[in-house]
């Protein structure tokens, strides 16, 4: 690829990253549809303007001038100077119309807004916009440290998926490191959930124990979890320090919130002008989820339904996206120590984030549209599972549930025949 070769040449020629960032601006200004230039820019920004964590960008760099440009565009949309040419029902924007934008408004948001309003149907700018507004990768941390004397297991749940070979993971009991062999559900190589059998001699005696788990990544990032287990306790858990309402969303600064709200206004206005364009619709959905999924729940549902109509070839994707949002909102509202949960009748087409249900014993997923059971492999503690009224065609995946005692698969599509693959249930 030409861009890969350019990176190699620039590296050997000692071309600065700042010059390369400027080069991407020139290429984007010449052609807003230059997807490779947008992508290259997204890889350079975290290096030229690094944020507090690796791979992030300083917030003030992203937001500088953004509010001004959005206000300018929004006012311009409904001014008498705004000329819109309609061709076969499609809004066609003239790029020269936005050449008068003030130079002081230059920012990443203004750049991508210029691109999306020049040609709302071009995906290059929208993908970059999605990168700008996307959630940062959560910092490595513990969501759960669970010790069970009954099953003699230790379970860890992290904010990131890890490969056990690529991290340093240690568990100490009373200061003594334990020799543990870690496993992931369904023999996954990369997982946020890991468990191990506690050695037989580790739990000998009737006394209180202090447990400490530490994970260290290749870049040196560390996370710790401490847990005191009394002699009278058969199990104990540490549930981390991340607020439940931010499990799937980050806390936004006032400046970023203001920018995203104005972005949402502009995208909604563009959607009204071009209702058959999927990109403003999808961007509105993602912005509303980033701002407050619970507050915008009804609008998100409405827009996702519109997306399935506007872009029917990807209706399954929009249904799965809706299912993910529904489960995220539900999981954020659950108590950390809950043992019984119900997602019945929520029209889920797939199941997400089941790693957050590793200790739940009773799960009701009835009256949905679920087809695959493989995501349920994280339900390590489930005893009772209701899957009635779904679209399940095979039991494959249920063999991963070691404690399952009660199961309902009534009113599904499972047929026992020579062509049907049925795993152990």
Instruction: Give CA 35 to chain center in angstroms.
Output: 23
Is residue 369 within 8 A of residue 390, CB to CB? The reply is: yes
Q: Tell me: the pLDDT tens digits for 23-77?
A: 998 888 888 888 899 899 989 988 888 877 777 787 777 766 444 444 444 454 4
418 phi, psi to nearest 5 deg: -65, -20
Q: Tell me: the pLDDT tens digits for 279-329?
A: 999 999 999 998 888 889 999 999 999 999 999 999 999 999 999 999 999
Residue 199, classed as helix, strand or coil, is: coil
Is residue 118 within 8 A of residue 144, CB to CB? The reply is: no
- Distance, in Å, from the CA atom of 54 to the CA atom of 109, rounded to the nearest integer, reads 21
Radius of gyration from C-alpha coordinates of the chain: 25
Res. 113 pLDDT band, cuts 50 70 90: confident
Q: Tokens representing 269?
A: 């206005």
Task: Say which residue, 420 or 354, is predicted with more confidence.
Answer: 354
Pick from 79-83, 153-157, 159-163, 165-169: least confident? 79-83
Return the C-alpha torsion angle 177, 181, 183, 187, nearest 10.
150
Of 169, 182, 139, 143, whose CA–CA distance to 359 is shortest? Answer: 143
- Distance, in Å, from the CA atom of 317 to the CA atom of 9, rounded to the nearest integer, reads 39
Res. 417 pLDDT band, cuts 50 70 90: low
| Interval 168-192 mean pLDDT | 93
Half-sphere exposure of 228 (CA within 13 A, CB side): 2
Chain mean pLDDT for the chain:
84
Task: Say which residue, 102 or 57, is predicted with more confidence.
Answer: 57
Start-to-end CA distance of the chain, whole Å, equals 49
Whether 396 shows a pLDDT value over 70: the answer reads yes
- Written as one string, the DSSP assignment of 101-153 is S-GGG-SHHHHHHHHHHH-TT-HHHHHHHHHHHSPPPPPS-EEEEEEETTTTE
How many residues make up the chain in this entry? 425
- Distance, in Å, from the CA atom of 220 to the CA atom of 74, rounded to the nearest integer, reads 45
Q: Tokens representing 234?
A: 């058969």
Task: Say which residue, 339 or 84, is predicted with more confidence.
Answer: 339
pTM: 0.82
- Distance, in Å, from the CA atom of 390 to the CA atom of 393, rounded to the nearest integer, reads 9
- Distance, in Å, from the CA atom of 71 to the CA atom of 84, rounded to the nearest integer, reads 19
Residue 50, classed as helix, strand or coil, is: strand
Res. 250 pLDDT band, cuts 50 70 90: confident
* CB atoms inside a 10 Å sphere around CB 40: 21
Is residue 58 within 8 A of residue 34, CB to CB? The reply is: no
- What's the pLDDT at 69? 42
- The percent of residues in the chain predicted with pLDDT above 90, rounded, is 51
| Interval 224-245 mean pLDDT | 90
Of 151, 239, 166, whose CA–CA distance to 203 is shortest? Answer: 151
Return the DSSP state at 57: B
Pick from 33-47, 94-108, 134-148, 202-216: least confident? 94-108
Strands 340-342 and 362-364, by their bridges, are parallel
- What's the pLDDT at 70? 46
Match 């390369």 to its residue by tokens: 20
Q: Tokens representing 22?
A: 């400027």
- Distance, in Å, from the CA atom of 336 to the CA atom of 157, rounded to the nearest integer, reads 13
Q: Give the ranges where 161-296 is alpha helix by DSSP (H).
A: 254-273, 278-292
- Distance, in Å, from the CA atom of 335 to the CA atom of 330, rounded to the nearest integer, reads 10
197 by Cβ neighbours in 10 Å (0-12 / 13-18 / 19+) ranks as: middle
Domains of the chain (ranges; CATH) run 17-136+249-321 (1.25.40.120), 142-241 (2.60.40.1130), 334-408 (3.80.10.10)
- Distance, in Å, from the CA atom of 194 to the CA atom of 183, rounded to the nearest integer, reads 6
- Distance, in Å, from the CA atom of 211 to the CA atom of 233, rounded to the nearest integer, reads 14
Task: Say which residue, 330 or 108, is predicted with more confidence.
Answer: 330
- Distance, in Å, from the CA atom of 99 to the CA atom of 29, rounded to the nearest integer, reads 10
């Amino acid at each position: 690829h030409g861009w890969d070769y350019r990176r190699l040449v620039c590296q050997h020629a000692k071309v600065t990253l700042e010059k390369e960032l400027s080069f991407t601006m020139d290429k984007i200004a010449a052609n807003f549809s230059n997807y490779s230039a947008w992508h290259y820019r997204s890889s350079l920004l975290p290096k030229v303007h690094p944020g507090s964590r690796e791979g992030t960008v300083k917030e003030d760099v992203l937001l500088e001038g953004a509010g001004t440009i959005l206000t300018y565009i929004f006012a311009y949309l409904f001014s008498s100077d705004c000329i819109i040419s309609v061709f076969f029902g499609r809004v066609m924007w003239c790029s020269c119309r936005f050449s008068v934008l003030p130079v002081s408004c230059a920012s990443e948001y203004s750049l991508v807004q210029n691109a999306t309003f020049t040609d709302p149907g071009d995906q290059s700018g929208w993908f970059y916009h999605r990168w700008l507004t996307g959630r940062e990768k959560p910092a490595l941390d513990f969501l759960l440290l669970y010790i069970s004397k009954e099953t003699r297991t230790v379970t860890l749940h992290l904010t990131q998926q890890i490969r056990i070979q690529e991290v340093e993971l240690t568990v100490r009991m009373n200061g003594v490191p334990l020799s543990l062999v870690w496993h992931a559900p369904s023999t996954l190589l990369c997982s946020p959930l890991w468990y191990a059998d506690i050695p037989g001699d580790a739990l000998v005696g009737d006394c209180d124990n202090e447990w400490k788990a530490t994970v260290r990544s290749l870049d040196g990032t560390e996370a710790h979890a401490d847990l005191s287990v009394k002699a009278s306790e058969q199990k104990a858990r540490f549930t981390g320090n991340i607020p439940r309402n931010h499990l799937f969303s980050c806390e936004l600064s006032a400046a970023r919130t203001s920018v995203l709200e104005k972005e949402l206004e502009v995208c909604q206005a563009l959607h009204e002008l071009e209702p058959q364009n999927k990109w403003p619709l999808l961007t509105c959905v993602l912005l509303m989820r980033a701002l407050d999924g619970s507050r915008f729940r009804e609008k998100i549902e409405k827009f996702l339904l519109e997306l399935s109509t506007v872009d029917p070839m990807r209706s399954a994707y929009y249904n799965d996206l809706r299912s993910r949002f529904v489960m995220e909102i539900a999981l954020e509202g659950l108590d950390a120590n809950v043992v019984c949960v119900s997602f019945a009748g929520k029209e889920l087409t797939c199941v997400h984030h089941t790693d957050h249900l590793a200790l739940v014993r009773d799960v009701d997923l009835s009256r949905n549209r679920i087809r695959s059971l493989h995501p349920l492999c994280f339900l390590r503690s489930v005893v009772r599972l209701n899957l009635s009224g779904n679209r399940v065609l095979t039991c494959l995946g249920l063999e991963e549930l070691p404690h399952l005692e009660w199961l309902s698969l009534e009113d599904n599509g499972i047929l026992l025949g020579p062509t049907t693959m049925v795993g152990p249930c």
